[in-house]
């Protein structure tokens, strides 16, 4: 059962279209797991639509209908009667990874450039052209802890597969977890299965163990090296 | 399959119990018959509203001719995607708003000279609900929203307007109105609660 959801700020900004891309991808991934939040986003879109139809209409002096039809008819991909059969999209693909994540990864997580960090963790940066944040997939080995780290900025984690726990509790597939600057934690993947997460980071995480601190310049180098 | 038929008739009944969507028939005619007259009806009603929304939401960098170009893009999508419109799930108003919103996001990205090609619809896509009954609850919720919106106090309308029509994030709204982020968030939540949109957090 998904029990951690994006708050009203995330959902409103998502429905309004103002949420930066990296965060929007996290919300979209969560929505594929969560019907309740999907319904909320739909309702918020209804609010926006009701506001739009109440705006003072801005009428264009010259009626552009004929020129619009010319544009359409010179490039109409779907002739009359041929209703394109958009198959109902399965919420989550066969691999169990949200479609939005697989699409942005170029079809499969395998296509990403994975960087191994010690025995328990590998990271694949995702280039989604968002300047304000880093987006990456983390893969933590079953039963292994990640280095304890402290957040310099906000971090969003969406659990895509497996589960992990930290001092505050246990998180399962679909959960949307937000950590704020200054919080420290050490997530551990649960024993039975590897844990795969989508992570959106406002600032690079500051590691508190000497080991991770030694690794950090390397991580930064690799992360920036792979972003086009 | 029996199950599907039961569901369908339940949906038909529920459909009758809600206010009919005057524009849905026009969209259907565009989808099935490529009906120009029906499309012109939609064009006449919606293009001045789409244009108004885009002029407000595309930011200060947008000029009239850009807003016009994006308005045309939205209407072309309405024509091309008419067959994907599902009247059980959303009203035509909401469907057209989401197309306008996505086209606007795309425009802003292109303007940023972002070289990473992304299909915005991969992120802001129409989530398919597998349960028609959930869709129907959705449609009734829309009526509640419509009625409650008329009763909201001015300070709540103001923040909703900035968020949804001007496309400003919570942070930007807070900055512009010199209000703490928490105040903006709580005003929006109060308004949403009145419209029976009950987000736990």
Give the tokens for residue B163. Answer: 């968020």
Min distance A9 CA to chain B CA atoms (Å): 6
With cut-offs at 50, 70 and 90, classify the pLDDT of residue A81. very low
Distance of alpha carbon A217 from alpha carbon B178, whole angstroms:
39
Distance of alpha carbon A132 from alpha carbon A134, whole angstroms:
7
With cut-offs at 50, 70 and 90, classify the pLDDT of residue A87. very low
Which residues in chain B have their CB less than 8 angstroms from residue A43's CB?
Answer: 138, 141-142, 145, 195, 197
With cut-offs at 50, 70 and 90, classify the pLDDT of residue A217. low
Give the tokens for residue B127. Answer: 């989530």
User: Residue A188's beta-bridge partner residues?
Assistant: A145, A165
Which residues in chain A have their CB less than 8 angstroms from residue B197's CB?
Answer: 40, 43-44, 47
Q: What is the 3-state secondary structure (H, E, C) of A30-44?
A: HHHHCHHHHHHHHHH
Which residues in chain A have their CB less than 8 angstroms from residue B120's CB?
Answer: none
The architecture in CATH of the region B6-130 reads: Orthogonal Bundle (1.10)
What's the maximum distance between 2 C-alpha atoms anywhere in chain A? Answer: 69
Report whether B48 contacts B75 (CB < 8 A).
no
In degrees rounded to 5, what are phi and psi of residue A116? -85, 130
From the number of C-beta atoms within 10 Å of its C-beta (0-12, 13-18, 19+), residue A29 rates as: buried
Judged by average pLDDT, the poorest of A65-74, A180-189, B26-35, B189-198 is A180-189
Contact (CB<8Å) B199/A69: no
Report whether A183 contacts A150 (CB < 8 A).
yes
User: For chain A, first and last CA: distance in Å?
Assistant: 37
Judged by average pLDDT, the poorest of A113-117, A142-146, B18-22, B61-65 is B18-22
Q: Is B128 on the interface with A (CB under 8 A)?
A: yes
Q: What is the dihedral of CA B59, B65, B70, B76, to 10 degrees?
A: 170
Judged by average pLDDT, the poorest of A6-20, A80-94, B7-21 is A80-94
Q: Which CATH class is domain B151-201?
A: mainly alpha
- pTM, entire model: 0.86
Query: Which sign does the torsion angle of CA A150, A156, A159, A160 carry?
Result: negative
Q: Strand A155-161 relative to strand A195-201: parallel, antiparallel, unpaired?
A: antiparallel
Query: Can you tell me whether residue A125 is helix, strand or coil?
Result: strand
With cut-offs at 50, 70 and 90, classify the pLDDT of residue A120. confident
- Probe site for chain B from A50, A63, A107 (most B CB atoms < 10 A): A50
Total residues found in chain B within this entry: 201
B180 vs B143: which has the higher pLDDT:
B180
Domain spans of chain A, in order of start: 110-226
Q: Is B176 left (phi over 0), alpha (psi -120 to 50) or beta?
A: alpha
Domain with CATH 1.10.1740.10 in chain B: 6-130
pLDDT digits (tens, 9 = 90+) for B149-169: 999 999 999 999 999 999 999
Report whether A98 contacts A28 (CB < 8 A).
yes
Which residues in chain A have their CB less than 8 angstroms from residue B91's CB?
Answer: 46, 49
Domain with CATH 1.10.10.10 in chain B: 151-201
To the nearest 10 degrees (0 to 180), the angle between helices A35-53 and B36-57 is 90
Judged by average pLDDT, the poorest of A134-148, B116-130, B147-161, B179-193 is B116-130
Nearest to B165 among A41, A52, A71 (CB): A52
Distance of alpha carbon B24 from alpha carbon B80, whole angstroms:
15
| pLDDT of res. A181 | 78
| pLDDT of res. B123 | 92
Distance of alpha carbon B27 from alpha carbon B125, whole angstroms:
19
Of B91, B6, B157, nearest to A51 (Cα)?
A: B157
| pLDDT of res. B49 | 97
Q: Match domain A110-226 to its CATH number in 3.30.230.10, 2.60.120.10, 1.10.10.10, 3.40.640.10.
A: 2.60.120.10
Which residues in chain B have their CB less than 8 angstroms from residue A57's CB?
Answer: 48-49, 51-52
Distance of alpha carbon B185 from alpha carbon B123, whole angstroms:
24
Total residues found in chain A within this entry: 228
Contact (CB<8Å) A8/B80: no
Average pLDDT over chain A reads 82
Report whether B22 contacts A74 (CB < 8 A).
no
The alpha carbon of A34 is separated from its chain's Cα centroid by a whole number of angstroms, namely 14
What's the maximum distance between 2 C-alpha atoms anywhere in chain B? Answer: 58
Q: Burial code of A66-80, b = ≥16 C-beta within 10 A, e = fewer? A: eebbebbeeeeeeee
pLDDT digits (tens, 9 = 90+) for B91-133: 999 999 999 999 999 998 887 776 677 889 999 986 665 566 6
In degrees rounded to 5, what are phi and psi of residue B170? -50, -45
| DSSP output for A137-204 | EEEE-TTPBPPPEE-SS-EEEEEEES-EEETTEEE-TT-EEEE-TT-EE--EE-TTS-EEEEEEESSP
Report whether A84 contacts B84 (CB < 8 A).
yes
């Amino acid at each position: 059962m998904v029990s951690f959801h994006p708050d009203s700020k995330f959902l409103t900004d998502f429905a309004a279209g103002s949420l930066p891309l990296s965060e929007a991808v996290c919300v979209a991934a969560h929505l594929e797991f969560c019907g309740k939040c999907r319904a909320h986003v739909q309702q918020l879109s209804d609010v926006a639509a009701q506001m739009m139809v109440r705006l003072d209409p801005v009428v264009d002096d010259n009626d552009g209908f004929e020129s619009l039809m010319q544009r359409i008819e010179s490039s109409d991909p779907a002739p009359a009667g041929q209703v394109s059969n958009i198959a109902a999209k399965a919420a989550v693909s066969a691999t169990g990874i949200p479609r939005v994540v697989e699409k942005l990864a170029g079809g499969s997580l395998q296509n990403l450039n994975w960087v191994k960090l010690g025995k328990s963790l590998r990271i694949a940066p995702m280039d989604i052209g968002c300047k304000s944040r880093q987006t990456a997939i983390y893969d933590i080995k079953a039963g292994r802890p990640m280095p304890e780290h402290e957040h310099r900025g906000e971090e969003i984690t969406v659990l895509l597969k497996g589960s992990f726990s930290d001092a505050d509790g246990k998180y399962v597939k679909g959960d949307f977890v937000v950590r704020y600057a200054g919080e420290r934690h050490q997530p551990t993947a649960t024993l039975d299965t590897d844990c795969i997460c989508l992570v959106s980071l406002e600032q690079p995480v500051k590691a508190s163990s000497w080991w991770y601190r030694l690794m950090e310049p390397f991580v930064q180098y690799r992360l920036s090296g792979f972003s086009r | 399959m029996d199950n599907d038929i039961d569901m369908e008739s339940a949906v038909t009944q529920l459909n009758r119990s809600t206010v009919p969507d005057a524009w849905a028939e026009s969209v259907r005619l565009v989808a099935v018959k490529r009906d120009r007259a029906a499309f012109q009806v939609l064009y006449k009603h919606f293009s001045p509203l789409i244009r108004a929304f885009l002029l407000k939401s595309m930011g200060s960098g947008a000029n009239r001719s850009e807003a016009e170009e994006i308005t045309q893009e939205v209407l072309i999508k309405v024509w091309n995607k008419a067959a994907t419109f599902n009247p059980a799930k959303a009203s035509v108003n909401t469907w057209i708003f989401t197309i306008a919103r996505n086209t606007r996001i795309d425009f802003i990205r292109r303007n940023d000279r972002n070289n990473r090609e992304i299909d915005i619809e991969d992120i802001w896509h129409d989530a398919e609900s597998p349960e028609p009954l959930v869709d129907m609850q959705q449609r009734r919720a829309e009526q509640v929203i419509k009625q409650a919106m008329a009763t909201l106090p001015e300070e709540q309308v103001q923040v909703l307007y900035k968020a949804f029509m001007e496309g400003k994030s919570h942070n930007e709204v807070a900055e512009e109105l010199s209000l703490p982020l928490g105040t903006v968030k709580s005003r929006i939540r109060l308004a949403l609660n009145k419209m029976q949109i009950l987000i736990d957090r």
